[in-house]
Structure 1
Amino acid sequence: MNKTRKLTGVILAGGASRRMGGQDKGLVRFRERPLVAWVIDALAPQVDEILIIANRNLDAYRAFGHRVISDLRPDFPGPLAGFEAALTHASHDWILTCPTDAPLLPAEYACLMSRAALGSAAVAFVDAHWQPVFSLLPKTALPSLSAALDTGERKAQRWLASIDPVLVTLDEYAAQLRDADTPEDLTAL
């Protein structure tokens, strides 16, 4: 793969998983393997490092052989807190995010995002909707993100809009970017 920049791949596994009945989504099984294993296998060849953002079952996530980082803020404040932890701990100047419950992640995800963005932050745009958990972010966005979280911001799309990202249309990958928020979603995958 011809990457345009060094990337830290970030798997967002830190949520409370309320719609999945409180189960830790990354460890829920899909086709005989935990969801996070599928995402690691898809993302690892595309990036230079993987970080898993998790707030519980840390040893289970560490068993996959990648650094595991927890949110810097308590009480599961959402994907923005995961972005903040990743931007704080990433070894590279850019992070590429995806949720732990997207086991069909495209093999060309990093290239698609990097080539479209060229030096700007980027967010996947599918079926005329922002997909904030599929983002490409520079470390330079960290001060803005931390300030937004300090004021109580929890809406990923609102903060992302404030940094004027490139919207990367990925309609042809809609099925591969679907996530499994509920047991029914997982069955549908």
Structure 2
Amino acid sequence: MAAAKGLEMARVAAVILAGGAGSRMGGADKGLLDYQGRPLIEWVLAALTPQVEEIVISANRNLDTYATYGQRVLPDTLPDYPGPLAGVLAAFDAVNADWLVVVPCDTPHLPADLALRLLGAAQLECVPLAVAADAARVHHSCFIVRTDQRDHLAAFLARGERAVRHWQAGLASTTVRFEAACFANVNQPGDLQP
């Protein structure tokens, strides 16, 4: 109940990371690939919409198509496609929220309580970052972070750093355990099959 109350009091936004090159998918824009009858972006939007006040989509191509989903679409503000953290930085600059939930566009089965549980854990531990995990591994691309960490991220990127897990290692954090199936992602053409 404390976590639910905290979620009501905190302003929570989300960014869906759809700005990658899709190199393992033959250059396809992964968020727009069909998965069980609808594009991957629709699965992620359906999971997140009830959980947060605002959603933005980080994308670097097909901007008009992503815009048809009714959310703001944010291209990277940094040159040369420096990776998913550039999308997080663009979201930090765009949303009006205390916390930002970050998820990739290729994870269609996100848990319905992702934001609630990540936020609750971060607040309970008094840390600015909570990262999803399962029994076997940490899912560094699914996390919640306080938006006051924007300058920390900008400095990390300005040093030429790119790895999400390395940026996260510089922040006090906690992990939250979920079922592994929640984070099954689509990385190769064969993953699109049910």
Q: TM-score range by the shorter chain?
A: over 0.9
Q: How does 1:70-85 map to 2 (within 5 A)?
A: 70-85=75-90
Q: Deviations over 1:59-88 (max 9, x none)?
A: 000000011111111222111111111111
CA contact (8 A) 1:73 1:81 kept: yes
Q: Give the alignment partner of residue 46 of structure 1, picking from 27, 48, 51.
A: 51
CA distance in 1, matches of 2:48, 2:176: 18
SS in structure 1 of the partner of residue 50 of structure 2: helix
Q: Give the alignment partner of residue 130 of structure 2, picking from 116, 122, 132.
A: 122
**Corresponding residue of 1:101:** 106
CA distance in 1, matches of 2:25, 2:39: 14
Whether 2:51 is the aligned partner of 1:31: answer no
Letter in 1 for 2:130: A
Stretches of structure 1 that go unaligned for 5 or more consecutive residues are none
- How many equivalent residue pairs? 186
CA distance in 1, matches of 2:25, 2:81: 15
> TM-score normalised to the size of structure 1?
0.93
Q: Give the alignment partner of residue 182 of structure 2, picking from 153, 171, 176.
A: 176
Provide runs of 4+ in structure 1 moved above 3 Å.
Answer: none
CA distance in 2, matches of 1:76, 1:90: 21
Percent of matched pairs sharing the same residue? 42
Give the aligned CA root-mean-square deviation in angstroms: 1.4
Q: Deviations over 1:99-135 (max 9, x none)?
A: 1111111111111111111142111122342212101
Stretches of structure 2 that go unaligned for 5 or more consecutive residues are none
Letter in 2 for 1:145: L
Letter in 2 for 1:105: L
> TM-score normalised to the size of structure 2?
0.91
